[in-house]
Structure 1
């Protein structure tokens, strides 16, 4: 039986989005697709500061490890210590944020019995799986799937994370509905919104779009995101304005990139090193101008009805 015309169009759109995301991230981080360079990156650059902290520039978005620390804090506060949780990250990319977060949660007293990284780009999942194997991780699974159709059962997770990937989703409302499907009643959702939220009536500048092209990065008005959360069935929504924190953080990250440009270039090449710098700089300018609203959201799926 042939597919409905609308379904076929949706499939073409999904395939084009997958190709676009792959091209963008391969151009930005070409070395991660070469095992020798990937292995060197994950073994030689393992800290958070100075040249040892450069790994965060390849896998952890605009906020880097510090953004993951915000997520760890939110999960530890929401899930409580002394119990194991099952969690997934939607839009996990190369897996760096998920690995870092799982390790830090364990340190914070929140055990992670099973974690899943969900990404639509097969090459990203392959890179992540290689790193997981190299590090001996046996409780993390990479799922190559759309974040709107995750191959996990309903109500199977305690926590769903989106660490900076919201701007890469053309239909963020569908992402939030899928997160709600995956969560158990009273389950926790944590979003770090890096370059995905705008004030009402505002759009990012043309200068921002040079490093954050349309079709790769999508934005949503802040009020629209809150409405999407409500429609997906989330309550106890808490919103933390990260503007001052993000402006200072990106200034520090830019300083590291500039001082250790040679180290970044040795791993990723000169053009990628400069693109990383320009990407962070463009985001910081939008924060300062108020055209983008860096935000941390936490929310809960509605508890099961009583009786």
Structure 2
């Protein structure tokens, strides 16, 4: 009898939610890394497929190995390929352990790999692109953990000054009065591993255009396991859909123990029909491929219509 072929490595999950791509691999207990290339950020680094190297920032939610194992490889490969020094953003309690890991690699490799680490306390934020900020938000897991919100800041004329003549606005500005206000627009939220709690009462979390969240447990009998491990259950996702205004809720961190066919059935049974088209499973390659093929066909048809008009 011939031996079986080795198991294939998982492919990157991929979704296009205009204008953003969401791509990565997320399997509970094995590896999690999710990238939004347009925002120059990846979340977690439990693995480091080649596309992830382009992210100048990696926002690390917590230190469990399936979320952090490839951080040294990320730094090393960016240096080796001449991309530039990468930056890990993390909970303050993880800053020194990351330095310790990189110091250990210096001993192993007999060379130093350049790297950056930024400790970001809950509530603080970091500018990662022009007017684009990464905000750390406290989450609740079995170890120190953060969720993250990527938001855009826009300057807008104060409502009470709308309609005023330009001369009046210039006069006020020259006198030192602030004539604009800053609007914060949440673009993407990534919860990381967390239990249900105050995180899901925040306007910047609930109002994000794309909400990427774990859903480790789906079976009705596993609600207790979700609570013990401080993870989310499908019941929590149903509550979240009622509260969130997100255009897309992307589920990650599902376990191999649950076949994707079972995942689809569980979602259809639990999620109200009017909410179902907002829910995506990052690792559901077949469904996501069909959706992207349709997006391509729609784009081609639109281009042809414009050319004919």
Give 1 or 2: higher strand fraction: 2
TM over 0.5: no
Give 1 or 2: higher helix fraction: 1
User: Higher relative CO (CA 8 A, sep ≥ 6), structure 1 or 2?
Assistant: 1
TM-score where L is the length of structure 2: 0.37
Query: Is the radius of gyration larger for structure 1 or structure 2?
Result: 2
